[in-house]
Amino acid sequence: FLERFLIVPLLLLGPIITGYLCMTIEPDSTKSLADCRVPFDEIIFHSDTVCQTCHKIKPARSKHCSICNKCILMVDHHCIWVNNCIGKGNYKYFYGFLLSNVMLLSYSFLRLTSIQLMSQTENIKTKPMLVLTILTGCFDIIVAVFSYTQFNLVHDGMTTNEQDKWFT
């Protein structure tokens, strides 16, 4: 009862709600924010830089997104899964989306594994269940590694865009 009416619905609602918020909440841009108080480091972000597309002075830690056609403040990346830029204004929903997906996939993998183990003792052949178990396990690993990378960047106070710039 607890699993069917509380745990599973909550785990399913997490990615749906946070994914919807990621898709619909626009990150802050130079169009929506007149000025940005992030200081220039004069190493990878210079105070005299002008956006080649917008022809406006670029605030520190911003980047022009060719898909959204605007300069996004504290841009991390343009996420193809939510069809939106991830930056200042929708970071928290994106990280909630990642975390809720890891939790859902982990639970699914563990629950399917337990069902597989129980069905083997009853001699029931469940090849589709085995395939689904393997898929959820693989996707869980992929999403968990990506989430770990993103949370490490947050811990370092850096975005994916800035990490790429430092690497270059």
Q: Could you give the residue numbers annotated as active site? A: 79
Tokens standing for residue 5:
């009416």
* Per-residue 3-state assignment (H helix, E strand, C coil) for 19-78: HHHHHHCCCCECCCCCCCCCCCCCCCCCCCCECCCCCCECCCCEEEECCCCEEEECCCEE
User: How far is 100 from 82, CA to CA, in rounded Å?
Assistant: 14
Tally of helices (H runs) and strands (E runs) in the chain: 5, 4
Q: How far is CA 129 from CA 22, 74, 108, in A?
A: 31, 43, 11
